[in-house]
Amino acid sequence: MKVFCGRVNPTTGALDWVEEDEDYDYHQEIARSSYADMLHDKDRNEKYYQGIRAAVKRVKERGEKAIVLDIGTGTGLLSMMAVTAGADYCYAVEVFKPMSEAAVQIVKANGFAGKIKVINKHSKEVTVGPDGDMMQRANILITELFDTELIGEGALPSYEHAQHTLMQERWEAVPHRATVYAQVVESHRLWSWNKLLPLDLDSGRFQPPPEMQSCPGAPSVCDIQLSQLNPCDFKSLSHIMVTCRIDFSQQISSATVSHPMNFSCLASGTAQVVLSWWDIDMDPEGTINCTMKPGWLYPSGHTVPWRDHWMQCVYFLPEEKKVVQRGELCLTAHQDDYSMWFTLQNSGAEENASNERPVCHCGAHIIWNRPRFGELNDQSRIDKYKKALKKILTPSSVCLCVSDGSLLPLLAHSIGAAQVFTLEYSSMSQHLMEKIFQVNNLKEVIPVLQKTPDKVTADDLGDRKVSVLIGEPFFTTSLLPWHNLYFWYSRTALSGVLSKDCTVSPVSASIHILAVEFKDLWRIRSPCGSCEGFDVRIMDEMIKKSLDFRELREAEPHALWEYPCRALSDPINAMTFNFQEAVPGDVMKSEGSVNLVRSGMCHGVVLWMEYQLTEDMRVSTGLLGVSEEEGDCQWYPHSKQGVFFLSSVTELEPSSMKPCTSVNYQLTFSPKHGDIQMNFSSKF
């Protein structure tokens, strides 16, 4: 059965109706999920298996049958581990129907259908009794309900319910306990992802609105691969502290609770950020431990387990706080049923911060994501735009900016343009920009037009023609780098209000490509035919059902500063878009090959956009540099790049097989649909 889905095209801005299979979204969700990553997480799987065997042994030693409840079974892997370890019966609960169907097939394929019952329900809906889902209560509770924040997937309410209604009076839990850690740091890099910082302009100093500076920020945790953050990017103001311990073998409560931690400050500075992670003990003695600590806490030479399904947390304090060395402070972790947040005050001071979860009240944290804050605060990038605008603006320029939430209008005004307008698609973004302009006494000077480009008329511009059209370009609806070609479509729709000799900046945009070897990221798309001796090939089939015909012709967005990779080729310009002209009617095509110049495993191709601001100035949203010897890549940290994973990994090294020497590419840009079809293949 086919269904039609309405989607706003991020490149053209049009509403497209797309025909899809009715189960397409399910397969997409599975394909883009972390199931493959979890199955490849050898450290996680080994620790779970050891913990499950120990729990089954403890129950058997008490002379009891081992009845297992596995909540959030996913592939059924942990249930199969339990039966292999000697469990008498296992109830595997999975609320996501396509995943539970996969689990049924995987359990059957491995010969466990008689001992594992897959239940397609939320655990809170599971019943016990002769006519229920479970014949009896369980005495071993196995779960993998954790996310980077530990409790963000609803682990606490699920435990609370299960322990009251689905477990016997005495039970074993795997994992047995979790410990959450926190460290207070000063980090201007991280803080720039949370607040809009002041900016020096030619006409004076730009100040963000006070309500933006006092706003507690986005309520969601910032999860990143903290191992890739250079220790030079932060200053430790506290030792690593234990925030809380949760014993899963005891009665769990999901009620809101606070955990105060007193500490003596290690150095003078500005407390801005709390770094946090957790570990889990699989047994009561704590001898089987699985930790999420960042790589720089491991001993030199120690192998650091890589995982993308569990990372580390960055929490932003509600406001910066100046601290002095040896000063006595109290960091309080607040926890509700789904999230955590932190407040900081002097030791002994009365707690005056609200125990309620922080919520953005300035609007900026709703409109802009954290990388966008970082981009707006990127001084080197701002300087490039300043230089470019100084080359193209004159005292008589009528300037129009087309980008979401851009500071370019401020730069253009400070440089001396006669009139500056800016275009915002949403009313929320319009109000935010008007607040920013108002604080800087520019609300009446820089009109904010809340319109789509095709609706802008000469009346909106005071019966004047635009002589300079500018953009970053950046749009909040963009997921992949080339989605920002919406600037080109806007420029085309605005043709009626542009002067004949209108200057457009950027002048052009180009897609650049690079063949790479990933250190770890390749694992998320690597086949997972077996795991810990169990056949899970059905997962590959489900992923391929979605990926073979769609994803293998598409790129995925990834913030590559978090995922180390080596350049196996030199970067090349694969396709250029001329913003001086309107969007053409004909399809644009480009094909060629990327020669591999370094040895390694070619896992895929990275794609990004570069913008030519003027004839001699450009900005990149992707590759910033490559080390000469090893080819290690440095990526722009405030944008995601596109990653096209090759369907088969290719090798460039002397071996028994002929090595790959290049990667062929074909790019086809369809102006009508605003998308880029791509194909990459290895050449031997």
Which residue type is seen at 9? N
Q: Using CA atoms, how far apart are residues 195 and 215, in angstroms rounded to an integer? A: 9
Which residue type is seen at 378? D
DSSP string, 556-614: EEE-GGGS-EEESB--EEEEEEETTSPPPSS-EEEEEEEEB-S-EEEEEEEEEEEEEEE
- Residue 498, SS3? strand
Active-site hit among 46, 101, 153, 651: 153
Active-site hit among 144, 172, 472, 556: 144
Q: Which of 107, 103, 126, 123 is nearest to 115 (CA)?
A: 107
- The answer to whether the CB of 390 falls within 8 A of the CB of 461 is no
Q: What length does the chain have?
A: 684
Token pair for 594: 């990327």
> What phi and psi, each to the nearest 5 degrees, are found at residue 265?
-65, 135
DSSP string, 274-300: EEEEEEEESSTTS-SEEE---GGGSPT
Q: Is 153 a catalytic residue?
A: yes
Q: Using CA atoms, how far apart are residues 504 and 490, in angstroms rounded to an integer? A: 12
Token pair for 348: 């002994």
Burial label for 224, CB within 10 Å (0-12, 13-18, 19+), is buried
Token pair for 33: 């999920």
DSSP string, 550-565: TGGGS-EEE-GGGS-E
Strand-pairing partners, residue 272, are none
Q: Which of 323, 333, 332 is nearest to 350 (CA)?
A: 332
Q: Using CA atoms, how far apart are residues 151 and 540, in angstroms rounded to an integer? A: 28
Q: Using CA atoms, how far apart are residues 681 and 332, in angstroms rounded to an integer? A: 53
Which residue type is seen at 443? K
- The answer to whether the CB of 251 falls within 8 A of the CB of 589 is no
Provide the terminal-to-terminal Cα distance of the chain, rounded to the nearest Å.
42
Q: Using CA atoms, how far apart are residues 521 and 512, in angstroms rounded to an integer? A: 20
Q: Using CA atoms, how far apart are residues 577 and 491, in angstroms rounded to an integer? A: 12
Q: Which of 461, 530, 529 is nearest to 499 (CA)?
A: 461
Query: Which residues lie closer than 8 Å to 536 by C-beta, 6 or more apart?
Result: 39, 75, 77, 106, 528, 529, 530
Q: How many CB atoms lie within 10 A of CB 660?
A: 22
Q: Using CA atoms, how far apart are residues 199 and 187, in angstroms rounded to an integer? A: 18
Question: DSSP strand E in 471-564: where?
Answer: 498-505, 508-518, 530-531, 534-535, 556-558
The H or E element spanning position 264 is strand 257-264
Token pair for 192: 């720039």
- The answer to whether the CB of 583 falls within 8 A of the CB of 14 is no
Catalytic residues: 144, 153
